Amino acid sequence: MRRKGAEGLFNVLTIVLLGLTCLLVAFYAIVLVNPSAPFNPLPPRTPAPAAQLPPATTPASGTATLTLAAVTDTPRPTETATASPEPTASPTPVATLAVIAPASPLPTPTYTLSPFPFTVQGDAPIPIQNSFNLSGCKWMGIGGQVFDLNGRPITAYSVHLEGGGLNADSLTGSKPQYGPGGYEFKLADAPKQTSGVYRIQLRDAQLTPVSDWIAVNTFGDCARNVLLVNFVQNH
């Protein structure tokens, strides 16, 4: 009798457990199909409605209106890298050796002998003050000497004078106050300046010209009233 009662109780519990299981399956099935069922203890969250701005209306006079300006992204300028040209290296100047042509040898000076064997000595005629006679400044003339190749005085040669109305000769050695081979011509009683008036020429004992004509210019002062002209043999 006690065994039957236990089996009946076990059967009742089994039926109750089976019923609860069916209810639990039905609950999950409904929640799966409709998560927003009122008996779902963990319903899904409903997203809050987006805030809507009231439609823009024309503001009445004296009413402040807040206008939200649309913000746009302004594109930034793109930096473009520009390659700078690399400096070009200038070629280093190369020193060049200038070739200097050898200088031409200086020409050897040549001396042309005078066509006459006698020429004047130095820069003659040389104006000097009269100290060869007692006339002093009351005299004007030409004087000098003649020398051979060895510098010895030559006598018996003739010095010929022309100009100013004069045509005269003076023998070398006749005026020793100028030296052993001295000669002299008196031109005037007082110094005076002339140019291209007087000329003299040396001649040998046969009166053959042995020098070129020498122009003798005079001066109008007492410090230059004697014109000194020496002749020297050159060949």
Domain membership of residue 193 as a residue range: 118-233
Note whether 127 and 227 are same-domain residues.
yes
Query: Do 223 and 122 fall into the same domain?
Result: yes
Peptide bond before 47: cis, by omega within 30 degrees of 0? no
Beta partners for 158?
171, 203
Note whether residue 97 is domain-resident.
no
Kindly state whether residue 43 falls inside one of the protein's structural domains. Answer: no
Tokens representing 78? 């793109």
Say which residue, 231 or 47, is predicted with more confidence.
Answer: 231
Q: What angle do CA 199, 223, 213 make, to 5 degrees?
A: 10
Question: CB-based contacts of 186: which residues, under 8 Å, 6+ apart?
Answer: 139, 140, 141
Mean pLDDT over all residues of the chain? 81
Give the number of domains in the chain.
2
Instruction: Summarize the confidence of residues 103-121 as an average pLDDT.
Output: 73
Q: Is residue 55 part of a domain?
A: no
Asked if the model's pLDDT at residue 138 lies above 50, the reply is yes
**118 closest CA partner among 153, 82, 88:** 153
Per DSSP, the three-state class of 168 is strand
Domain assignment of residue 184, yes or no: yes
Query: What's residue 60's pLDDT?
Result: 46
Is the pTM for the entire model greater than 0.85? no
